Chain A
Amino acid sequence: MTRTSVRSAVRVAVVAVLSVAMLVPMYIMVVNAFKPQQEILLSPLGLDLATATTEHLAAAWQNTSFPVVEGYAVTLFLVLACNVVAIGTSVPAAYAIARTPGPLFRFLLFFFVAGMFVPAQIILVPAIFVLRATGLMGTLPGLVLFMASTMIPFTLFVFSGYIRMLPRSLDEAASIDGASRQRILWTIVFPLMRPIVATAFILNALSAWNDFVSPQLILGPGSEFKTITTGVYAAVSTYTTNYEIVFPTLLLAVVPILVIFVVMQRHIMGGLSAGAVKG
């Protein structure tokens, strides 16, 4: 064997071992979701097909503290609604900031970008008082507005950077033809922004999907609306050693997002690196 082929064999072996290490927790979760507690404790890695059962999975599905279908519906609604608010408000604002010269608009950009350094869950405590004062506490609109406000800084920042790279001659030609700025924005500029809108959508969607603190504190633990994360918390947090509950519940919570991820992996990982390069 030549030196390069030895080296590439070592490289493949290292990566393979690390990949297995990354996947072991998923394997443990999947096999144990089909076993009774006693068997989970006795042989955590095996799966005896003779005694495998979907009983606990069915119980987790019917658990009233984590209504799975509704949890998915609420979470999906949050993903879409937050993105509509964050992207819908950031597009015109970023366009105005990118296309208007002057110190006022430079300051506005700085004002928005400063929000990227404010962690959402840290500002949640005082935000609760604002939501209470406006009657939005405990409601889905309140939650959507709060989560969208934490997405606006990044979204607006990457949008304004992207619009700056689009040729100004496009807007100028349209404005000579008499089109209004709103029309220029939505019919000419916005379609050109598709790649960066996709990036922002994916990153915002991931953070909305996985957010636990905002829905838990804004909707409240007793809320009729449960997201996937607050539902899992309600179902699992007091039974962390009852593995008959833990593993099937976690399995139900992660399978759809993992399927979406595997199908969309190129777009998700590509969107992330595009966002970083532009940001």
Chain B
Amino acid sequence: MARTTSSRRGFAGSLVSGLMTIPAAAVYTGLTVVPVGFAVYYSFTQYNGIPSQPPTWVGFENYARIIQDPIGDLRPAVVVTALIAVAGAFLVNGAALGLALLLRRTTPFNTFARVVMFYPHVLSALIVGFLWQAILGPQGAVNNLLESRGASSLPFLADPDWALTTLIVVIVWAQFGVQLVLYLAGLQAVSPELQEAARLDGAGSVQVFRHVTWPALAPTVTVTIVTSVLSLLKVYDVVLGLTNGGPGDATQTWAYEILAVSFANNKVGLACAQAVLLVLVAGILSFTIIALRRRAEEGAEAVG
């Protein structure tokens, strides 16, 4: 008897709980889950987005087109995005960790420096792109300075290789502040006693970092790598402001390809196939990084 009441109450409780999730589930399902479903469906069709012309089923044609890339117009975006993700992740994390070690003590000077390192993140990426365009463009501030000193101008945004390098540097400039804040938070969790003990045992600062600080930072490193890779994979706004994908297609990222090339040219099916692939890559990469980092994190527990 008592059991039935409690299970009935459990059921009623679950029902109330279920009802409480409905508003969030409705908004999230309607505008994120259903669109993902649509993206998967459209990715198997040829569709120009015009309501009067329904999508026609073409199977894996869009995916085959992306993978085989017969006219060589899609692969550059994959290469550009991969370069940005790999180089960007290393530079962002290197700069952030280096500065976090320099700024870890809370002094007024360090607080000021942290604010200075972080502020580009509160500007929108589009504005960051436009600003650096005005500084590094062919007519920009830097090139005018060089020319007025009699030096020749530099093709920061005019030469394909330079432009990609410039783009990566600008992204790092704008982004590493976030990772810096995460590393600073991580460093606070490193036990000072352990570092002090290592120092008393005669370890130099490099050794203390390698054997105490770095292992203890492992969980933070996982978070910073995953968050930086995820945001680097979807770079779009800053490209629009800085280079608009040029020169040629030298700085067209995967997101740029989806929004400003495929979708803008009414190739909705292709755009959706590209979007589905990007979501898959982002998911697989994140889980791979988390799985690979698990061993390092187990080491962190041993140290902590």
Chain A min CB distance to B271 (Å): 5
* Interface residues contributed by chain B, number (CB under 8 Å): 88
- Report yes or no: A276 in contact with B223, Cβ–Cβ below 8 A: yes
- Report yes or no: B116 in contact with A23, Cβ–Cβ below 8 A: yes
**Could you say which residues of chain A place their CB within 8 Å of the CB of B117?**
18-19, 22
**Could you say which residues of chain B place their CB within 8 Å of the CB of A146?**
31
* In the assembled complex, B103 has its CB within 8 A of some CB on chain A: yes
Beyond A125-B39, A152-B32, list 4 extra A-B contacts (CB 8 Å). Answer: A19-B117, A232-B127, A236-B130, A269-B118
Q: CB-nearest residue of chain B relative to A272? A: B181
Q: A253 vs B115: C-alpha distance in the bound complex, in angstroms?
A: 19
* In the assembled complex, B145 has its CB within 8 A of some CB on chain A: yes
**Could you say which residues of chain B place their CB within 8 Å of the CB of A152?**
24, 27-28, 32
* In the assembled complex, A12 has its CB within 8 A of some CB on chain B: yes
- Report yes or no: B144 in contact with A42, Cβ–Cβ below 8 A: yes
Q: Is the interface of A mostly helix, strand, loop or mixed?
A: helix
- Report yes or no: A145 in contact with B31, Cβ–Cβ below 8 A: yes
**Could you say which residues of chain B place their CB within 8 Å of the CB of A241?**
137, 139
* In the assembled complex, A213 has its CB within 8 A of some CB on chain B: yes
Q: CB-nearest residue of chain A relative to B263? A: A125
* In the assembled complex, A150 has its CB within 8 A of some CB on chain B: yes
- Name 13 A/B residue pairs within 8 A (Cβ), A-sorted: A22-B119, A22-B120, A28-B134, A104-B18, A123-B39, A126-B38, A146-B31, A152-B32, A210-B122, A212-B124, A241-B139, A269-B114, A279-B223
* Interface residues contributed by chain A, number (CB under 8 Å): 96
Q: CB-nearest residue of chain A relative to B282? A: A117
- Report yes or no: B36 in contact with A240, Cβ–Cβ below 8 A: no
Q: A130 vs B38: C-alpha distance in the bound complex, in angstroms?
A: 9
Select B27's contact among A122, A148, A185, beta carbons within 8 Å.
Answer: A148
Chain A min CB distance to B195 (Å): 16
- Report yes or no: B35 in contact with A119, Cβ–Cβ below 8 A: no
Residues 198-214 of chain A: 1 if any B CB is under 8 Å from the residue's CB, otherwise 0?
A: 00000000100111110
Select A96's contact among B21, B34, B184, beta carbons within 8 Å.
Answer: B21
Q: A23 vs B117: C-alpha distance in the bound complex, in angstroms?
A: 9
- Report yes or no: A44 in contact with B141, Cβ–Cβ below 8 A: yes
Q: A182 vs B17: C-alpha distance in the bound complex, in angstroms?
A: 10
* In the assembled complex, A43 has its CB within 8 A of some CB on chain B: yes
- Report yes or no: B36 in contact with A41, Cβ–Cβ below 8 A: no
**Could you say which residues of chain A place their CB within 8 Å of the CB of B134?**
28-29, 32, 240, 243, 246-247, 250
- Report yes or no: B122 in contact with A123, Cβ–Cβ below 8 A: no
**Could you say which residues of chain A place their CB within 8 Å of the CB of B49?**
129
Q: CB-nearest residue of chain A relative to B227? A: A276
Q: CB-nearest residue of chain A relative to B278? A: A122
- Report yes or no: A108 in contact with B21, Cβ–Cβ below 8 A: yes
Select A28's contact among B14, B99, B113, B135, beta carbons within 8 Å.
Answer: B135
* In the assembled complex, A233 has its CB within 8 A of some CB on chain B: yes
* In the assembled complex, B173 has its CB within 8 A of some CB on chain A: yes
Q: A44 vs B141: C-alpha distance in the bound complex, in angstroms?
A: 5
- Report yes or no: A232 in contact with B126, Cβ–Cβ below 8 A: yes
* In the assembled complex, B156 has its CB within 8 A of some CB on chain A: no
- Report yes or no: B28 in contact with A115, Cβ–Cβ below 8 A: yes
Q: A277 vs B112: C-alpha distance in the bound complex, in angstroms?
A: 23
- Report yes or no: B116 in contact with A122, Cβ–Cβ below 8 A: no
* In the assembled complex, B300 has its CB within 8 A of some CB on chain A: no
